[in-house]
Structures are given as structure tokens and as C-alpha cells.
Amino acid sequence: MLLIERPDAVVAAFYDEKTGSWQYVIRDRETKSAAIIDPVWDYDEKAGATSTKNADAIADYVRSEGLRVEWVLDTHPHADHFSAAPYLAGKFDAPTAIGEKVTQVQKLWRDIYCLEDFAADGSQWDRLFAEGDTLRIGSLEGRVLFSPGHTLASITFVFGSNAFVHDTLMVPDSGTARADFPGGDAHVLWNSIRELLDLPPDTALYVGHDYCKDGRDPQCMATVAEHRTNNIHVKDGISEEEFVRVRTERDATLPLPVLMLAALQVNIRGGRLPEPDPCGRSFLRIPVDHFRPPAD
């Protein structure tokens, strides 16, 4: 765990090495109120087994600090891990939330998985946030930015000088996240990133993933000023045309995330497995030959 001291908040960052994912607890400095953001529910794809190692580490931290969890938040339906939002919301009697455009993602993946009876209405969460909505953790007010491009539903949570951008940006030496998933768009991603880079220069941007480029230690955050100076894809001076070209060429070489086809059918359900079959077991669907591997 990394503990990041900010003028208006304390952020605890938890790293999942298997998926390269960052998970966060942000707490108001003036109270014991907190929000959990993008928690991981572990999944072993070889055994088809779930576990709660990551989520339990977050829960242990919350309890040890005596925090009161006001929200359990997801920035979008994740493609590389299951969401542990329902698990942690149940432990702390807190509401879950995501962006309102999740219904578009639900409809898209409902069709891919042929889930005829699936309710693609966002009812799997307690709250759906729209652009400009606000929320509170103690005395710290947060607001929601709509940040599509990586997915149709991606949002950013801004709490004071802290912005949780997840897959919209990587740390500066790694650039940005891919835009080739169903519903993704590199031009739209560019516009979302420019809105983030117009935040005050000292705003800390917390990313959802880091893959430890060149063997360095995992990093979770850089300021707006650092991105505008050093981000290899979107630093000042790089045009939208250049960004889209680099992003599109890079995406064409990338395989799908290992857990994507398993994770999306869980995460469009708000972080829940499909209902068990009459035999009592839950099963995940794999859409054979719907996606193609990258060209050699």
C-alpha cells in the first residue's frame, strides 16, 4: 500500500500485481469519511475461482483507520478484473455508484453475450452519476466528469485536488490507455484527456493501471503539470492527429486483456456472477470467434 498525503485528503493506493490494477481509498482530512474506488475482486482464470484477497486488504485498512465508508465507486465497467464493489459495499453498508452511460455498455455487451433477459438499465448500482453531479465524503465535495474514449461509460471522480481517472490516462512514461475496445474511440479519448489536463496544474491524477515500464516500481499518480510536460502521448505540443495515429497504431498490436471476456459479463452486472444454473453453479460465457487476435 502507498499512502499519499495531499492538502485536502489522504489517499491509500493498493496495487494488484496480477492485473496491474490500482485501487484507492480516499479519506477526508477533517473527518473519518472515505470512499473506495475501483476495488478488485480476484479471479483465477485457470481454476475458475474467485477470492477476495485484494478487497480484504482494503477492508482491513478501512477498519484499522476507523473510517466510515460513504461510497464504493467504479469509474467504468472494467475489462481486466472483476469489481469488488458489491462485496465491500455489503461489508460497510455503503452505496455503490458508476456513471450513467453504463447502460450503453450493458446493452453492447448484452448483445455480445446474447443475454436476452438481462436488464441493461443500470439497476445493479445504487446510484448512476451524470456529468456534473456532485457527491460528498465528509467535508470534501466531489464532482463527476464524463471521460469517454476508453469506454462509452468512463467517468472521472474529482475530490478537491485529487482526480481518479482510471484508464483514461496512464502515468507519463506510459502515456494513455487503449481506445479499441467496443465503444472506444481515440478522438473521443483525446477530448476527455484535454479536459483533465485543463484541471489546476497541481491536481493529482490517479490512474487505474501501471505495468512497471522497464522494470521500475509501480506508480499510481502524477500531477497535471507533470503530464503536460512529460506524458509520451499527450504532453503539450502533441496534436490530436498525432495522438490518434500513435494510439491507433499501438492498439492494433495489443491482444485483449486476459480476463476481458470473463470480466465484462461480471462487471455489467455491477460485480456479480451470473445467476446459478439449476445445478447450483454459475457459468461464464465466452463468445467464440467474435473477437480476433492482433495481426502478426
List, in sequence order, the alpha helices (H) in 66-198: 85-92, 102-113, 186-197
Structure confidence at residue 277 as a pLDDT band (50, 70, 90): very high
Residue extents of the structural domains in the chain: 2-267
Report how far residue 53's alpha carbon sits from residue 172's, in angstroms, rounded to the nearest whole number: 29
Residue 224 pLDDT > 90, yes or no? yes
Angle separating helix axes 240-251 and 186-197, nearest 10 degrees? 130
What's this model's pTM, rounded to 2 decimal places? 0.97
CATH architecture for residues 2-267: 4-Layer Sandwich (3.60)
Question: What's the rounded mean pLDDT across residues 194-223?
Answer: 97
For residue range 228-267, list pLDDT tens digits in order. Answer: 999 999 999 999 999 999 999 999 999 999 999 999 999 9
Look at residue 295 in the predicted model and tell me its pLDDT. Answer: 73
Look at residue 296 in the predicted model and tell me its pLDDT. Answer: 61
Give the CA dihedral 225, 231, 234, 236, nearest 10 degrees: 50
For residue range 134-192, list pLDDT tens digits in order. Answer: 999 999 999 999 999 999 999 999 999 999 998 999 999 999 999 999 999 999 999 99
